[in-house]
Amino acid sequence: MFKDEISPLSGTPPNVPAPVVKLISPELKSQPGRWKRTWSIIRQNPRLIVGGTFIMVITILAILAPVLPLPDPETGISSKAYQPPGNQFLFGSDNVGRDVFSRVIWGGRVSLSVGFISVSIGFLTGTSLGLLAGYFGGWVDLLISRFIDALLAFPAILLAISITAALGPQLQNSMIAIGIVNIPVFARLSRGQTLQVKARDYIEAARALGLKQGNILRRHILPNILSPLIVQASLSLGFAILAEATLSFLGLGVQPPTPTWGFDINSARGYLSNNYWWMVAGPGLAIMLTIFSFNILGDSIRDILDPRTRKR
């Protein structure tokens, strides 16, 4: 797992040139072998296939929404309101005659973009803060850690609600809010990992060779702490989509008539007593399956990367 540790000369920095690299076993460098191994791991993990496939399908549909032959998600035909699922409307139609399926696909664009961008914000900011805190220690660590503690003091969704309420209900504000909420988990994780990795011999050797601190952080510490962060990113994506749906549900996300899964569920609440269940079912299933897929994907990646849980 620790990339630099493949060097057979323990304590030698990995960027030491040719002779050391030549000592590395050829099969480790062989691309076909690596692909074969990766494919074998994927085949042995049905959850990885299920989760990954669903995420791929929903992502492709969301990206291609503008070119797919879908009815306009924002305008409906009032005479065709409240149609149950059938040939004309795959997921039924809503109270103003809009196609629920079309709104689910278009809504996926919002949910997935908020998910990916907010997790990227959390990942980049949190990991950078954690790296700095863990590597430099002292007052830098104290300052960053207290800031992270302060963010962790808030229940996550409450913090996201408060930030969005403060910044205003807009797409980019949802991304910022959920991104900020994601910072602490990445910061904590990367700080802990950095503390472990910086005590290793090859970091000591890199320092002794006079490498700049930025170089050590970027080239030697970051690659070796990435695995758990990637697992966390996958799990955080599930949370981000849930948080976006919650914000939209409360009317704090993207504003209507733009379709979002959370807002559509909230709109459908008023029609539950009439048993128009399909207005909730479409966006509800989409949210549930997307979060479910990210969760099982995260779990599978963790199981693959962590030998202790591989057989559990």
Partner 1 sequence: MGRYIIRRLLVLLPVLVLVSIIVFVLTRLTPGDPIRTVLGEEDNPQTVAELRDKLGLDQPIPVQYVLWLGRAVAGDFGKSLRDSQPVTQAVFERLPATIELGLAAVLFSLLVSVPLALISAVKRNSIADGIATTISLVGVSIPNFLLGIGLILIFSYIFRIFSPGGYTPIGEDLGDNLKRLVLPSIALGAASAAVNTRQLRSALLEVLSQDYIRTARAKGQSSMKVLTKHALKNAMIPLLTIIGLQIGTVLEGAFITETIFSWPGIGQLAVKSIGNRDYPVIQGVVLLSAVLYMLINLIVDISYSLVDPRITLGQSDV
Q: Which residues contact 79 (CB under 8 A, 6 or more apart)?
A: 97
Residue 247: burial class (beta carbons within 10 Å; 0-12, 13-18, 19+): buried
Q: Does residue number 280 form part of the binding site for partner 1 (CB under 8 A)?
A: yes
Nearer to partner 1, 68 or 158 (CB): 158
Q: 285 with 105: CB under 8 angstroms? A: no
Q: Does residue number 199 form part of the binding site for partner 1 (CB under 8 A)?
A: no
Sole binder of partner 1 in the list 113, 120, 125, 246 (CB under 8 A): 246
Nearer to partner 1, 5 or 149 (CB): 149
Residue 156: which of 222, 76, 100, 238 has the closest Cα?
Answer: 238
Nearer to partner 1, 40 or 309 (CB): 309
Q: Does residue number 211 form part of the binding site for partner 1 (CB under 8 A)?
A: no
Nearer to partner 1, 161 or 206 (CB): 161
- What pairs with residue 99 in β-bridges? 93
Nearer to partner 1, 178 or 252 (CB): 252
Binding mask 153-182 for partner 1 (x = CB under 8 A): xxxxxx--xxx-xxxx--------------
d(CA 125, CA 114): 16
Peptide bond connecting 259 to the previous residue in cis, omega within 30 degrees of 0: no
Both tokens assigned to 145: 């850690």
DSSP state of 24: S
| Residue 38 C-beta: closest distance to partner 1, Å | 24
User: What is the C-alpha R_g of the chain?
Assistant: 23
| Residue 159 C-beta: closest distance to partner 1, Å | 8
Q: Does residue number 57 form part of the binding site for partner 1 (CB under 8 A)?
A: no
| Residue 292 C-beta: closest distance to partner 1, Å | 4
Nearer to partner 1, 38 or 309 (CB): 309
Q: 174 with 254: CB under 8 angstroms? A: yes
Residue 197: burial class (beta carbons within 10 Å; 0-12, 13-18, 19+): buried
Give contact residues for partner 1 (rule: CB under 8 A): 146-147, 149-151, 153-158, 161-163, 165-168, 238, 242, 245-246, 249-252, 262, 265-266, 268-269, 272-273, 275, 277, 280, 284, 287-289, 291-292, 295-296, 299, 309, 312
